[in-house]
Chains A and B, each alone.
Chain A
């Protein structure tokens, strides 16, 4: 796609795709490329929940906080993850392995409560099941080292 046609949102998306987040320098680069002020780019980058301005953990957990998940106690999943990983919404674990983001709805309402890790959805969660899933990922990572 021709960049002159890409909007600031698209450029930020491409940047995040590339780096996993939006590094500070990229804000200035995009501003220059689009001929707009860095303040404006910053405004766009901080408006949308998708964009991150700091580096996320290796595994991105999107925890659904949609209505169906709420009714089926998504908050207990959030609590379980907090217990297991010690992190909440928007936080990254100390070992840099996990970042949790609460999202409005993953659209898998019939399987609520749901979370998505690195694009893979896990449904019908219980607190124990959620803990087990992240534990497995962590164990895999430990083996890899």
Chain B
């Protein structure tokens, strides 16, 4: 390199660089990152991607930093509005032409963005402990959640378009059970250098949200105490989900792991009774409220205060034996848990009353099916108008006959009454499973939403009335906040967000985006007929006549053979290179809108048949690095650009596997590729 030194300024920083160095090199030596994709150290600059453009004072054109040598007195702005616009456009254009997934639909649709594809692959490879550890990076309850989660991941799973989705939830339960049996069930690693280290944090509520927050903060070195009003930890997982779906022993083991990490668990502790919220705030550095939604919603009809009417979650918690005829009102999973519990506790007749039809039921299909098998009778298109009461006791329900009308804002068909048609259903018990509310007792100082839930802002903070400013900040998550009760994995997602918020609170930095910008394929563009059909594995299910008399698990977990077969069905939608990909890293940084310039995609397929390197042309940005590296560094020249303009693709000549038999598997091209277009197959 030239010995002469030139002085210049980049982004206001005075820099000295060797004459002959490029702006990119000079900036990089000063710690200024100028995005670049088609550049690779040691290769001559190429200038294709156009993301390294910078503005130089006195230059009418933007300069490509990768190729422009520094000059004495240059004043460079790498983030001028004009440079940023041109740079961002490059990313918008590339992402708009990127017919590929960063993350699989399973990960995107999981509220907690659990790395489903990763652990499914690990299971496919027989690495069950690794798979468990992967889940444990997101939350500490894999065996429990694997059993009870309504798995939005599976709903989104593209394999469902081939024949049926991957059994992701059960695979997770299998992996976690196996890890426990192997004695390798352990918390995910410590997260070093956290601003939460050494902080004292109190968490109210020991359900999935509270336990997840405790676990994640403990990994960060916080001193965590969880307070819960019930005698045991687990929240709704313990008190709202029947044993036949989630054995308490499984839950206990997962909770004891959290406890073994040094999280202090305090039960039978009720805010407002055992201590005031304000008092707790004085004793810690941050407080997280995750007290859930423990009150059943009422139907708002005459007679519902009568003896023999229960709330769904109250019933599940108390597990009362109800001899006689029982009607459960509602169509969700709580209604299914309640009706099936009623069957097991010896009810004579069990009805489910729902105002729409089976197709609209929010409960999972398998739950409905199994309830039916167990003898539950479904009364569809019926809406209770009155609880018939005699001597203060329930004797029946008046049911208005409904029909389906126009769709509501969510697209579900709206039930409308059929004039004059009312039926009577004679009963001894009514269970209202139409929703849950949170109990604000003890939390009156927290600002609430119109729904009565705790209101939190985008940084998961709750606002405290008459805050003295000297107490710990209050964060809130789970069923208790904002939109209210939902599924456990959503509460877990909220807990992780709260932990990030606490971290940011202590560090003073911004809360990181959880997913941010990603590329996602449109399923409609994919030809699913190319995949060979492979049936979904199902774990053995006990016969209805047998299972309906006890609380032992309805379904067993997968055998190892089943689990591996099932996991191998994964289409591996998400990109192997997501964490390394320069394209998405910068696209995220610039908050690129990936669909703004959508149009026809450049041609090209995913080729797996060529030697040891898989080439996914859909991810190719034509930076030509692989071609250049193969020619200039590996001295092979096996790849070339074919065609011109938008349809340019990179191919071995004639796409002929024989022609590239000389590929030395040096792997230089895959390492040079700034995206996930190339991959060395093992």
Contact = CB atoms under 8 A, between A and B. Distances in A.
A contacts B directly (C-beta below 8 A)? yes
Interface of A: 24, 27, 36-43, 46-47, 49
B644 A38 contact: no
Given A38-B653, A49-B644, 7 more contacts: A38-B654, A38-B659, A39-B638, A40-B637, A42-B654, A46-B642, A46-B644
Given A24-B654, A27-B653, A42-B653, A37 B637 contact: yes
Interface string B631-648: 100001111111110000
A25 to B, nearest CB: 11
Contacts of A37: 631, 636-638, 640, 653
B652 interface: yes
A9 to B, nearest CB: 14
Contact of A46 (B631, B636, B637, B643): B643
Interface centre among B642, B644, B651, B653 (most CB of A within 10 A): B653
B659 A43 contact: no
Given A24-B654, A38-B659, A43 B642 contact: yes
Contacts, number: 41
Interface in B647-662: 651-654, 659
Given A24-B654, A27-B653, A37-B631, A42 B640 contact: yes
Interface in B179-209: none
Interface in B248-267: none
Contacts of B638: 37, 39
A36 B642 CA distance: 16
Given A42-B642, A43-B642, A46-B642, A36 B637 contact: yes
> Mostly helix, strand, loop or mixed at chain B's interface?
mixed
A36 B639 CA distance: 12
A42 B640 CA distance: 7
B652 A39 contact: yes
Contacts of B659: 38-39
Contacts of B639: 39
A38 B638 CA distance: 8
A49 B652 CA distance: 20
Contacts of A47: 641, 643-644
Nearest to B638: A39
A38 B642 CA distance: 11
Contacts of B643: 46-47
A47 B636 CA distance: 21
A87 B318 CA distance: 78
Interface string B65-98: 0000000000000000000000000000000000
Interface centre among A37, A41, A46, A49 (most CB of B within 10 A): A37
Contacts of B652: 39
B644 A39 contact: no
B604 to A, nearest CB: 14
Interface string B562-598: 0000000000000000000000000000000000000
Given A37-B631, A38-B659, A43 B654 contact: no
A75 B71 CA distance: 52
A43 B641 contact: yes
